[in-house]
Amino acid sequence: MNDTLSLLMNHKSIRKYTDQQVTEEQLNRIIEAGQMASSSSSVQAYSVIAVSEPEQKRALSALAGNQKYIEECSVFLVWCADLYRLKKVTEAQIGDQPTYVDSTENFIVATVDAALAAQNAAIAAESMGLGIVYIGGVRNQIAEFAEQLNLPELVYPVFGMCVGYPDQDPGIRPRLPLGSVLHHGAYDARRTVDEVKTYDNTYTEYMRARSGGKPVAGWSSFMAKRLAEPVRLHMKDFLNSKGFLKR
């Protein structure tokens, strides 16, 4: 176990922060580390909006489900898939030729690029003693959220990331067994499901300890409840309105 593996294996989502602020130099290094992530064909189809002004964080928090740690963290990073830049800088070269910037493939490229860069940035932040938590709630009221940030066509917020100095030490949430995730040569449909039976027990014990002994269902029950909820069904229409997924 080297230092890098130790850092990765001890990731914890931090939802409570001290008043100590992330410096501009730290923020720059974090984003620069994100930029060193792999990118499909070097497209680099993402942008990051750093929000540190209290009133703006408060407004964004309200749109993201009133998650207080957005207000309390030092800086809130909004990771955006961004094909606008690509479209604009190539217009002169392309001229009247048709383009496929609005294709499903390019949407995937931009979304994956943003996710890869964000995870690099998260590890960089944690290496500095900072804590992070990803915020999918930016998609709760995504049209209003995008308007708050003045996002143009072909840009959408994939997720947010709170960054700051931790004021808590939560336990490490257990992951699925390796055997349920790692397949050799071909997908093992039976094994990936069977392994979850063990994980259900592990997850129940973890959540029971975290909730102070309250009865908790297993991971599969939690996932069943989640899949039965109509979550963010507005996303397709919003993405279409922003010029994504046209073909």
CA angle 93, 40, 90 (to 5 degrees): 10
Residue 144 lies in a domain: yes
Across the beta sheet with 46-51, what order do the strands follow?
46-51, 75-82, 155-164, 131-135
Element (H, E) at 31: helix 24-35
Give residue 185's pLDDT: 98
pTM above 0.85, yes or no: yes
Strands 46-51 and 155-164: unpaired
Give residue 171's pLDDT: 87
Q: Kindly report the number of other CB atoms within 10 A of residue 36's CB atom.
A: 12
Task: Report whether 199 contacts 176 (CB < 8 A).
Answer: yes
**Ranges of the chain with pLDDT below 50:** none
pLDDT tens by residue, 80-136: 999 999 999 999 999 999 999 999 999 999 999 999 999 999 999 999 999 999 999
Do 118 and 47 fall into the same domain? yes
Do 146 and 58 fall into the same domain? yes
Q: What CATH number does the domain containing 163 carry?
A: 3.40.109.10
Do 167 and 190 fall into the same domain? no
| Overall number of domains in the chain | 2
| Distance between CA atoms of residues 136 and 22, nearest Å | 22
Do 209 and 120 fall into the same domain? no
Give residue 13's pLDDT: 97
The domain of 164 spans: 3-172+230-241
Do 70 and 165 fall into the same domain? yes
